[in-house]
């Protein structure tokens, strides 16, 4: 990771200009962007991760369009209200992406329980989104999501604000959604959990595609085994994935490049 970014990206710190709660959300969000890049889930400048402002629930933080994921830092994010008004912009050159606003505002309007959302265009995620079968319960990891994943049909790039109600309705109470012929979407009560949902969902897609590419019959699990495994991942039956992992992931980022905290 390049720790010698151009001066244009050495933005004035907002640490002393926002609440402690907002600064923590900004730091976690910057970490999620860096981790997304680290684990191969970025798509140049074309996808987005967001976090609701904890002490201003009618606003959320999102990436400035035009910056790469490994350039994100706590002070760089746009602060936007649910109607699209930009409340804070660190650099005039990097504004709000229409699709980013549509997708993330749709979620925060409909889901007061959600504090973070992540959208990806990975090769594996896009490929599974183009399969009629969707995600199959053929691995242990996939059974964590099977039966708890929503689907949203592609109606063109998500730039029309009128699409927000449909997207939110399709997501419902789920935390994961496959945007058909498009990519993946996860949400969570924390940035850490939204990231972990995406990490697990992405690996499930990768494993499914690798297995399907082998041109040999899949070892399809018996329905009773699928039902048992799915039930063992029921909310409340297991810990909240992402929270225990987060501190270790932050330590890894600190070893690589701690500038996400700036």
Q: What is the CATH number of domain 14-257?
A: 3.40.225.10
| pLDDT score for 168 | 96
pLDDT digits (tens, 9 = 90+) for 59-111: 999 999 999 999 999 999 999 999 999 999 988 889 999 999 999 999 999 99
Confidence of residue 50 (pLDDT cuts 50, 70, 90): very high
Domain ranges of the chain: 14-257
Q: What rounded mean pLDDT belongs to the chain?
A: 93
Taking the C-alpha atoms of residue 258 and residue 3, their distance in angstroms, rounded to an integer, is 9
* 3 DSSP 8-state letter: S
CA 41 distance to own-chain centroid:
10
pTM: 0.92
- Tell me which of 237 and 159 has the higher pLDDT: 237
Confidence of residue 3 (pLDDT cuts 50, 70, 90): very low
Contacts with 158 (C-beta within 8 Å, 6 or more apart), sequence order: 99, 102, 103, 167, 179, 182
pLDDT digits (tens, 9 = 90+) for 125-184: 999 999 999 999 999 999 999 999 999 999 877 777 888 999 999 999 999 999 999 999
Beta strands in 43-133 (DSSP E): 48-53, 56-62, 78-81, 86-88, 116-120
| pLDDT score for 59 | 98
| pLDDT score for 9 | 61
């Amino acid at each position: 990771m390049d720790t010698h970014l151009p001066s244009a990206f050495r933005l004035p710190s907002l640490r002393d200009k926002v609440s402690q709660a907002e600064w923590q959300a900004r730091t976690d969000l910057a970490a999620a962007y860096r981790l997304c890049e680290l684990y191969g889930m970025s798509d140049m400048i074309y996808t987005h991760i967001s976090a609701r402002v904890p002490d201003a629930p009618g606003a959320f933080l999102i990436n400035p369009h035009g910056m790469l994921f490994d350039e994100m830092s706590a002070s760089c994010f746009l602060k936007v209200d649910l109607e699209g008004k930009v409340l804070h912009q660190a650099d005039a050159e990097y504004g709000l992406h229409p699709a980013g606003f549509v997708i993330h505002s749709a979620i925060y309007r409909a889901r007061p329980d959600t504090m973070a959302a992540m959208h990806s265009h990975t090769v594996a995620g896009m490929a599974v989104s183009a399969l009629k079968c969707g995600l199959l319960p053929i691995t242990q990891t996939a059974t964590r999501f099977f039966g708890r994943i929503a689907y949203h049909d592609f109606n063109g790039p998500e730039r029309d604000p009128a699409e927000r109600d449909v997207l939110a309705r399709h997501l419902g109470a789920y935390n994961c959604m496959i945007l058909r012929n498009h990519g993946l979407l996860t949400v969570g009560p924390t940035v850490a959990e939204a990231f972990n949902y995406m990490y697990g969902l992405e690996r499930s897609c990768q494993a499914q595609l690798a297995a399907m590419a082998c041109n040999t019959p899949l070892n399809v699990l018996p329905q009773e085994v699928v039902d048992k495994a799915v039930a063992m991942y029921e909310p409340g039956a297991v810990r909240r994935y992402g929270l225990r992992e987060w501190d270790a992931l932050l330590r890894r980022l600190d070893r690589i490049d701690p500038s996400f905290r700036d």
